[in-house]
Structure 1
């Protein structure tokens, strides 16, 4: 049903996630990221509340990724149905897959990253994601997307994939990247990659527009002068 990778960039401290699913609009429910705090993927039979709960525990109680995950799941009645991955702002990792996870499932922690999935074609899909993230140079978004492409090449999900999302936090309180393909009959990960390459040249300009409107570049749209 879903495979994802959460990760941190050592050079920039950015935190991010790339995710895809056979379900519609996976980017609306499963990825959670907070600048200077951490990033969470909550998937399988998804409880979106786990994302902000875990990030709150890291931020307000100073817990590491594993302790925050344990605390969030400790009192959760339906944890057997959840699959959750976490990377905190120091690159520490945590992962959980409940006994009721769907189909063939697997999760692996790598160097400041965690890849996880369920309803997989094979377990090598997740290993390939970690390997691609660790071996790819460049921006965090490129590394996350490389992991997603590696997953597809290794077999991906057992069935067709229809949605995908990419979310990255830098130093602002809002995500610097928040791109989604909510439904596609074919290759949502490829479409997400195309969105990233269209957005990337303008990304810093949108930060500039937010922080200093007098320095905002114009893109020639009506009213944008």
Structure 2
């Protein structure tokens, strides 16, 4: 019921997860990223425990393929799960269990991995990877372009209703965590619209946390 990607910006070291589904609030259950470590998406009869587990393994120095292999050994009902990972070296890895739903597929390259289930066709993840690799600019822009490419390639077999994009950088919290938990319209468009507003303010929100004395004005009534 889902298609997604995990990605790393080779220039900045930023990580991101972008995901969409016919299920509600997919990003709340399936998106995991840790600054300096990597990004993970866990989906298809989702076990959210597999996200932190895989990040912990990569945080101990395992590359993404090694972490996915260890996750397979220790995860429960692993035949039902899809898990995507990218690490801080740009290595990517995917587990797609044989009990993944409907038409399922995955694709990966350096710095990016994509997977999906209940897809309109098996080419959707490769379209997402190609969309990411052919895009330029901020990691968030490239991830939005990739998700739109997946949607244009067919996306899920039915309409999608939720989406999200999470980005982590040099601080311990997500520098962006944008979600559309339910809509009858296109949730990827909703996340893209939120990103358009949020992107110019991203650095300011980080600066306000680190040192509000150096922060730009808040731009709200009463702020001077």
Range of TM-score over shorter length: over 0.9
Q: Which residue in 1 is equivalent to 2:48?
A: 48
| Displacement after TM superposition at 1:127 (Å) | 1.2
Q: Which residue in 2 is equivalent to 1:209?
A: 208
Q: Secondary structure at the match of 1:53?
A: helix
Q: Which residue in 2 is equivalent to 1:107?
A: 106
| Rounded Cα–Cα distance in structure 2 between residues aligned with 1:197 and 1:156 | 22
Instruction: Please report the RMSD computed on the Cα atoms of aligned residues, expressed in angstroms.
Output: 1.1
After superposition, the Cα gap between the structure-2 partners of 1:22 and 1:212, relative to the gap in structure 1 and judged at 3 Å, is same
TM-score, structure 2 as length reference? 0.97
Q: Secondary structure at the match of 1:204?
A: helix
| Rounded Cα–Cα distance in structure 2 between residues aligned with 1:40 and 1:145 | 17
| Displacement after TM superposition at 1:219 (Å) | 2.4
Contact 1:161 1:188 in 2 (8 A): yes
Q: C-alpha deviations, 1:115-138, integer Å up to 9, x for none?
A: 100000001111111111011111
Q: Which residue in 1 is equivalent to 2:82?
A: 83
| Displacement after TM superposition at 1:223 (Å) | 6.9
Uncovered stretches (5+) of structure 2, i.e. residues with no partner: none
Taking the TM superposition and a 5 Å limit, the aligned residue runs for 1:1-225 are: 1-60=1-60, 62-221=61-220
Contact 1:29 1:46 in 2 (8 A): yes
| Displacement after TM superposition at 1:30 (Å) | 0.2
| Rounded Cα–Cα distance in structure 2 between residues aligned with 1:63 and 1:93 | 12
Contact 2:64 2:87 in 1 (8 A): yes
Contact 1:133 1:146 in 2 (8 A): yes
| Displacement after TM superposition at 1:71 (Å) | 1.0
| Displacement after TM superposition at 1:222 (Å) | 5.8
| Displacement after TM superposition at 1:77 (Å) | 3.2
| Rounded Cα–Cα distance in structure 1 between residues aligned with 2:74 and 2:212 | 46
Q: C-alpha deviations, 1:162-213, integer Å up to 9, x for none?
A: 0000001111111111100011111000010000000011111101100111
| Rounded Cα–Cα distance in structure 2 between residues aligned with 1:149 and 1:75 | 34
Contact 1:111 1:134 in 2 (8 A): no
| Rounded Cα–Cα distance in structure 2 between residues aligned with 1:75 and 1:168 | 27
Q: Secondary structure at the match of 1:95?
A: strand
Contact 2:16 2:168 in 1 (8 A): yes
Q: C-alpha deviations, 1:14-40, integer Å up to 9, x for none?
A: 111110010000110001000000100
Aligned residues: 224
